[in-house]
């Protein structure tokens, strides 16, 4: 057999995922860049689930979406939004076909790992006022010290009003900050295991360092100084912290990473990278074949519990209301629905090869990543999508020239993780995970590829068409 024949046979029989830029002409490259510029602006404005909901609703209202009202008349092309307690959101565009033919659904999550303030957070020690924190989601605690932090959240008042707090995002704003030891005195700390290097109770952020009245001998005057300043700005007192949701998030803005500017570095790309791609795809879907349901859920990082998370029935209740409004049988609609659980994947990291199976990992710049199963050990806690579901969605992607790849979270028994796919599957829906590979996932500054983000957007657009 000559070499040409061998190569031909090789091409016919073997498969290799292409590089995302191998098929991107200059027009496509410009689209990738433009999309990522909008994405970075979005990231800087939506660091909490509440901020995402407000941003998305504003955008939807500009694009003709109306508040969802169960029982109202609905026709193809109608666009509606449903807000769940300001922390989760569902968008829908009514399709040409009956709901009994199934919906096209995506679910991303809009919460990210962070440092929540404890309910009674303020204390003073050795002339420094601190805020106590309780971390939210899976973090490696040592990564969150010596990082510029911003305070975000709301205080809920008895009269039903809320006060929104946001300190540390404007260049002129002060920051909050958690210290670490200097290397000169770090010898004992260096001997600890990495996971014990920084303890949860050591994650106390500096809030103020000067007294309210330098001449007075009273105690806790630095704490009073902080309270006085925050009272002047927001009209709240220490008691108001008890009925608040306040959180510390990295104050870094989103930036390009690498001299070729192919990556975006930012806080909270798990899972706002997928939330942004699905939001834009939903907005660009006008009169689809199947009705779209685009869900932005809260609480994924702590197990999806709570009435704004996917373990709650809020999405099911929405689909019930939608089916009733359109005169469709809900069970038939659910059974015929295809859903993408859009969440990030663990990108292969050449610095740490031992925890990955290279061939079954997703790689940055190779497109969006399809994950058949997540979970741990023997796929425990996984949805494990069917071959038919995989063939159905990859058929749609291939027809639309989407660059997609497959990826497991890591090597067998190296660890594990989960997504909301199992909660979607629980409602008798066909579902598979699709997302974007992330480097340094759950760290204060995560990396994602602009081309992978753009391919996810195009994939969801094709799925909704």
Interface with Mn ion (CB under 5 A): 270-271, 343
Nearer to Mn ion, 240 or 270 (CB): 270
Nearer to Mn ion, 227 or 420 (CB): 420
Do the Cβ atoms of 146 and 177 come closer than 8 Å? yes
> By C-alpha distance, which of 263, 268, 233 is closest to 251?
268
Do the Cβ atoms of 32 and 454 come closer than 8 Å? yes
> By C-alpha distance, which of 308, 304, 278 is closest to 293?
278
Q: Which tokens hold the place of 234?
A: 């927001």
Nearer to Mn ion, 240 or 343 (CB): 343
Question: In angstroms, what is the minimal distance from the CB of 417 to Mn ion?
Answer: 7
Question: In angstroms, what is the minimal distance from the CB of 236 to Mn ion?
Answer: 31
Nearer to Mn ion, 50 or 223 (CB): 50
Nearer to Mn ion, 222 or 448 (CB): 448
Q: What are phi and psi of 12, to 5 degrees?
A: -70, -35
Q: What are phi and psi of 328, to 5 degrees?
A: -110, 150
Question: In angstroms, what is the minimal distance from the CB of 274 to Mn ion?
Answer: 8
Question: In angstroms, what is the minimal distance from the CB of 340 to Mn ion?
Answer: 13
Q: Rounded to an integer, what distance in angstroms lies between the CA atom of residue 134 and that of residue 118?
A: 6
Look-up of token digits 């500054």? 445
Nearer to Mn ion, 325 or 419 (CB): 419
Q: Is 109 helix (H, G, I), strand (E, B) or coil?
A: strand
Question: In angstroms, what is the minimal distance from the CB of 272 to Mn ion?
Answer: 10
Question: In angstroms, what is the minimal distance from the CB of 220 to Mn ion?
Answer: 38
Q: What are phi and psi of 426, to 5 degrees?
A: -55, -30
Nearer to Mn ion, 316 or 420 (CB): 420
Nearer to Mn ion, 195 or 261 (CB): 195
**Residue 44: C-alpha distances to residues 10, 47, 150, 224 (Å):** 47, 7, 12, 31
Burial tier of 407 (Cβ tally within 10 Å: 0-12, 13-18, 19+)? buried
The DSSP code sequence of 281-296 is: HHHT--S-SSPEEEEE
Question: In angstroms, what is the minimal distance from the CB of 344 to Mn ion?
Answer: 5
Q: Rounded to an integer, what distance in angstroms lies between the CA atom of residue 80 and that of residue 6?
A: 55
Q: Which tokens hold the place of 98?
A: 């009956």
Nearer to Mn ion, 107 or 131 (CB): 107
Question: In angstroms, what is the minimal distance from the CB of 361 to Mn ion?
Answer: 17
The Cβ of residue 359 has, within 10 Å, a number of other Cβ atoms equal to 8
Burial tier of 80 (Cβ tally within 10 Å: 0-12, 13-18, 19+)? buried
Q: Across the chain, how many H-helices and E-strands are there?
A: 11, 22
Question: In angstroms, what is the minimal distance from the CB of 429 to Mn ion?
Answer: 19
Do the Cβ atoms of 450 and 263 come closer than 8 Å? yes
Question: In angstroms, what is the minimal distance from the CB of 313 to Mn ion?
Answer: 21
Helix (H) or strand (E) holding 424: helix 421-426
Nearer to Mn ion, 78 or 111 (CB): 111
Question: In angstroms, what is the minimal distance from the CB of 335 to Mn ion?
Answer: 27
Q: Rounded to an integer, what distance in angstroms lies between the CA atom of residue 269 and that of residue 42?
A: 11
Question: In angstroms, what is the minimal distance from the CB of 433 to Mn ion?
Answer: 10
If you count them, how many residues does the chain have?
465
> By C-alpha distance, which of 214, 211, 139 is closest to 178?
139
Nearer to Mn ion, 74 or 425 (CB): 425
The crossing angle, in degrees rounded to 10, of helices 450-464 and 269-283 is: 40
Nearer to Mn ion, 298 or 343 (CB): 343
Sheet strands (E) in 214-328: 244-250, 255-257, 263-266, 292-297
């Amino acid at each position: 057999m000559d070499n040409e024949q061998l190569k031909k046979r090789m091409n016919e029989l073997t498969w290799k995922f292409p590089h995302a830029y191998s098929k991107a002409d200059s027009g496509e490259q410009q689209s990738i860049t433009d999309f990522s510029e909008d994405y970075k602006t979005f990231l800087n404005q939506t660091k909490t689930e509440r901020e995402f909901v407000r941003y998305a609703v504003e955008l939807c209202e500009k694009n003709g979406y109306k508040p969802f009202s169960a029982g109202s008349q609905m026709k193809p092309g109608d666009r509606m939004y449903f807000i769940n307690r300001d922390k989760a959101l569902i968008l829908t565009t009514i399709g040409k076909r009956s709901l009994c033919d199934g919906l096209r659904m995506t679910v991303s999550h809009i919460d990210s790992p962070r440092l929540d303030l404890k309910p009674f957070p303020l204390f003073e020690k050795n002339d420094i006022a601190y805020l106590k924190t309780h971390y939210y989601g899976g973090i490696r605690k040592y990564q969150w010290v010596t990082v510029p932090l911003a305070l975000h959240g709301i205080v809920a008042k008895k009269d039903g009003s809320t006060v929104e707090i946001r300190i540390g995002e404007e260049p002129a704003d002060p920051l909050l900050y958690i210290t670490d030891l200097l290397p000169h005195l770090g010898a004992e700390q260096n001997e600890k295991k990495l996971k014990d290097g920084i303890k949860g109770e050591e994650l106390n952020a500096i809030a103020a360092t000067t007294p309210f009245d330098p001449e007075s001998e009273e105690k806790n005057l630095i704490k009073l100084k902080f309270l006085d300043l925050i009272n002047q700005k927001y009209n709240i007192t220490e008691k108001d912290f008890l009925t608040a949701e306040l959180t510390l998030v990295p104050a870094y803005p989103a930036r390009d990473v690498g001299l070729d500017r192919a990556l975006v570095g930012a806080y909270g790309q798990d899972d706002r990278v997928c939330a942004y791609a699905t939001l834009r795809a939903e907005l660009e879907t006008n009169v689809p074949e199947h009705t779209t349901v685009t869900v932005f859920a809260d609480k994924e990082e702590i197990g999806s519990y709570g009435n704004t998370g996917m373990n709650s029935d809020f999405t099911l209740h929405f689909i019930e209301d939608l089916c009733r409004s359109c005169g469709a049988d809900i069970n038939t609609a659910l059974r015929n629905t295809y859903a993408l659980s859009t969440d990030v994947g663990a990108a292969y990291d050449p610095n740490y090869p031992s925890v990955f199976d290279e061939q079954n990992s997703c790689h940055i710049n190779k497109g969006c990543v399809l994950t058949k199963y997540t979970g741990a050990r023997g796929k425990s806690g996984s949805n494990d999508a069917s071959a038919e579901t995989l063939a159905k969605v990859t058929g749609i992607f291939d027809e639309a020239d989407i660059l997609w790849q497959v990826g497991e979270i890591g090597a067998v028994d190296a660890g594990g993780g989960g997504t909301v796919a199992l909660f979607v599957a629980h409602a008798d829906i066909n579902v598979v995970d699709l997302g974007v590979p992330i480097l340094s996932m759950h760290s204060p500054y995560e990396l994602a590829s602009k081309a992978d983000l753009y391919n996810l957007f195009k994939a969801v657009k094709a799925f909704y068409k």
